[in-house]
Amino acid sequence: MKYLKISLVSLLFFLPFFYGIKYTKGEFSLSNISNEIQLLFSKKQKLKFTYNKSVDPRILILEGVVCWESIEEFKRIIQEYPKITTICFNRYIGAIDFFSIIQLCYMVRKCRMNTVLLRGVKVDNVALLLFLSGKNRKVCWPSIIDQSFDGYVDIVGESNIEKVERFMCESGISNVFITRFLEEKAGEECRLSSKEIVQYGIGSIIN
């Protein structure tokens, strides 16, 4: 037990340096370290940005888990490549903290970017908000909008429920879906059909 405690303390101390965390502008915090540890043990990759201007200078592809580092990376990319107009989500999109996902959402909305779910992508828990931040939203069917809500309350927190509701209303989402989204119980599956995606105003379908 003694050695286990020492190992955990060592992990907390060295983790910031391992990930290159900066101690300026309020970027370093215990919550950020906690998120890094979650990612480390979940074996899921941080949000990966893929851009190839020779293929299509308008498209940015995202894949992985949104974390606090994603915000600065997104800022850097859109400043460096101002022709980007569309964000495509590939394979899997998830989130581990509410602050990061909602910050990124408002940045995408401010840039008036379009969002596209590529065929077969899985959108987990509150990461759906990132897709909803798009000006025009398209879903390449079949895609899995899997609102199983495992850890949903832990990510959002009771104090942020109203912010989620307001964001979804601003995105033109049906009140019926907002209620369903907010009241879903952890562990319950809520996979949306193509008909529901259109009906609830989530996006249009591309077959």
Residue 178 has a pLDDT of 84
The predicted model scores a pTM of 0.76
Location of each CATH 3.90.226.10 domain in the chain? 45-206
**Residue matched to tokens 């209620």:** 179
Q: What angle do CA 120, 122, 127 make, to 5 degrees?
A: 145
**Helices first, then strands: H and E counts in the chain:** 9, 8
**91: pLDDT strictly greater than 70:** yes
Enumerate residues 6+ apart whose C-beta is below 8 A from 204. 136, 137, 138, 139, 198
**Residue matched to tokens 């190839």:** 52
DSSP calls for 66-115: E-THHHHHHHHHHHH-TT--EEEEEEEEEES-HHHHHHHHHHHHHTT-EE
- The CATH topology of domain 45-206 is 2-enoyl-CoA Hydratase; Chain A, domain 1 (3.90.226)
Residue 89 has a pLDDT of 94
Q: What are the tens digits of pLDDT across the range 127-181?
A: 889 999 999 999 998 776 655 444 455 567 777 888 888 999 999 999 988 887 7
- The amino acid that residue 10 corresponds to is S
Length of the chain as a residue count: 207
Residue 189 has a pLDDT of 58
